[in-house]
Structure 1
Amino acid sequence: MATVPNDNRTALAPVSNRLPSTDTLAHKAEQAGKGLVSHVLPPTIVIGVLLVLWEVLCRQPGALLPPPTEVVTNTWELIANPFYDYGGNDVGMGWQILASLERVAYGYLLAVVVGIGLGVLVGKSTWAMRGLDPLFQVLRTVPPLAWLPISLAAFQAADPSAIFVIFITAIWPIIINTSVGVRNIPEDYRNVARVLQLNGWENFTKIMLPAAAPYVFSGLRIGVGLSWLAIVAAEMLIGGVGIGFFIWDAWNASMLSDIVLALVYVGIIGFLLDRLVAFIGNLVTRGTSA
């Protein structure tokens, strides 16, 4: 009688034997449910309690701020139609946020490129560290908005000035964290680079960046948060389309509900930006970044 080759036995096995068992699927579903509850339930409870507290306090006689139910009622058109465009600066919240994110993208990416480059230089060279570190420590203490008059005088335009403010705000944590990461590369890694006789670019891409990546992404997370803070503040002064100018314009029109809604969006976008950089960092560093 002909026998079935060993490598075909698995393929000819009953389908039920190759599918996960019901117990296994039930266990995985149970674990997923527990994970969902442990991650979603606590913040949901906290947010719910805060909303109730906010509603109760702002419903009291003499309260100056609107309760959440009134905020939703007053801003429902903005919530339901975020991408309307009536011309000029009269556009929906979606366009306001996208305009701010575009400025953040330009300034932040520029800070990433320059900051990592300077961080590597300071981390590798003692002379560079002694010469540049005092300058960096002085400049990084200057508040972001203090740079805005200088940038407006230099660029004579709102968008480049805002992008410069983002750049100068985000670059310092990137430089500092990158330089610390480069200085903390284990000596064994450096010895491997010498044994393999790697050139400068190979040493940078295969040894230096992977080893310093957890520090670099810690700086990138701090930098993206500072970028979002800086653009909201800068747009209040430079005008035009942007979430910061929207907040300032709503204040001038005494529309507190619009301001509250904008602040909620600002917080959500800032959280998502941080999570995005953290996600990329975990992919690059295989879970070792902060």
Structure 2
Amino acid sequence: MSVPHAEAPATEPAATSGRPSAASRDFRGFWMAVLPPVLGLACLVLIWQLIASTSNSGIPKPAETWAQAVQVFSDPFYSNGPNDQGVGWNVLASLKRVAIGFGMAALVGIPAGFAIGRFEFLSRMFNPLISLLRPVSPLAWLPIGLLVFKGADPAAIWTIFICSIWPMIINTAVGVQRVPQDYMNVARVLNLSEWKIFTKILFPAVLPYLLTGVRLAVGTAWLVIVAAEMLTGGVGIGFWVWDEWNNLNVSSIIIAIFVIGIVGLLLEFALIKLATLFTFEEVKA
């Protein structure tokens, strides 16, 4: 009986000797999460430095842009009149327009997507119209907004609305059409009302598709608002870019590009977290 007790301690280290420790796994995971993005940003800065140093394009170097960024963000909420405001006010103005236009598109697009996906007659009726209007550039709708609403702000919001509505309609309708027919057969056997079908069957099944449409719509809206504000003027990140170009301040334009990218990244991250809360599947960017 003494032999098994003597061999037992020797077998356990042999089984675990080849496994990495928990600390080493955590360390490796940390570097895999941090090092690739840092190297990517370093490559971007290096290429930027090389282009700025070897060309006569007038592009400022990273160090010059950083100094300008420190000055810009030292007081992001100053206000010296309607056409001279800090970058913070410009970003907030753009986000406000995006929120209003996107919210209106969600109120119209999501119910329309459910109806088009649920009823074949509506699907056949509206699919040609969607196919016709969806490829139109969002900025092509801006003159229509200026003509109808007689103002830059409502025209920009209208442009956001018209470019945000299509992803939500299409993704929601596709989600409804992909609900398994067995679910609908059970609902028919149980004689469920249309409201019960919507709340108990359609909405839970379509939610991942709906959230995908919302993410696409927000990304599109944030892209379009910059171009719309360049054309309409006023306060906004797009107008700020155009105003800095008129002042030949290229460093501020580069700063604005990074600000636009960071805000878009934050919006995307927030929607991914929202989608993760309401779905069982892992949501990736």
SS, match of residue 59 in structure 1: helix
Paired residue for 2:187, among 174, 193, 216? 193
1:82 correspondence with 2:65: no
Equivalent position of 1:9 in the other structure: none
The offset of 1:114, in angstroms, is 1.1
Aligned residue runs from structure 1 range 140-219, under 5 A = 140-219=134-213
Residues 12-66 of structure 1, C-alpha deviations (whole Å, 9 max, x = no match)? xxxxxxxxxxxxxx94x66554443322221111111110221122122524211
Q: Which residue is equivalent to 1:51?
A: 45
CA apart distance, 1:90: 1.3
* Deviation per residue, 1:224-246 (Å, 9 max, x gap): 11000111110001111000000
Q: Which residue matches 1:12?
A: none
Indicate how the Cα distance of structure 1 residues 195 and 283 shifts in structure 2: closer, same or farther if over 3 A, else same: farther
* TM-fit CA distance, 1:68: 1.2
Cα distance per residue 1:139-179 (max 9 Å; x no partner): 11111111011001111111111111001001111111111
Q: Is the alpha carbon distance of 1:105 and 1:35 closer, same or farther for their aligned partners in structure 2, counting shifts above 3 Å?
A: farther
TM-score by length of 2: 0.87
Moved over 6 A (4+): none
Q: State the aligned residue count.
A: 264
Q: Secondary structure at the match of 1:40?
A: helix
Residue 188 of structure 2 aligns to a residue whose secondary structure is helix
The match for 2:226 is 232
Contact 1:108 1:170 in 2 (8 A): yes
CA distance in 2, matches of 1:289, 1:210: 16
Q: Distance in 2 between matches of 1:120 and 1:243?
A: 34
For residues 236-290 of structure 1, the C-alpha deviation after alignment (integer angstroms, 9 at most, x for no partner) is 0111100000001111111111100001000111111112112111111123556
Equivalent-residue separation in structure 2 for 1:119 and 1:132 (angstroms): 10
Name which of 257, 264, 267 aligns with 1:270: 264
Is 1:255 the counterpart of 2:257? The answer is no
Task: Give the aligned CA root-mean-square deviation in angstroms.
Answer: 1.8
Distance between the aligned counterparts of 1:182 and 1:162, measured in 2?
A: 31
SS at match of 1:86: coil
Could you list the per-position Cα deviations for residues 87-137 of structure 1 after superposition, in whole angstroms to 9, with x for gaps in the alignment? 322111111001000000011111112111111111111111111000011
Q: How far apart in 2 are the matches of 1:241 and 1:142?
A: 26
The CA distance in 1 between the partners of 2:105 and 2:208, in whole Å, is 18
TM-score by length of 1: 0.85
**AA partner of residue 221 (structure 2):** S
- Consecutive unaligned residues of structure 1, counting only runs of 5 or more, are 1-25
Q: Could you tell me which residue of structure 1 aligns to residue 12 of structure 2?
A: none
Gaps of 5+ in 2: 1-20
| Residue range with higher mean Cα deviation, 207-216 or 225-234 | 207-216
Aligned partners of 1:213 and 1:289 also within 8 Å: no
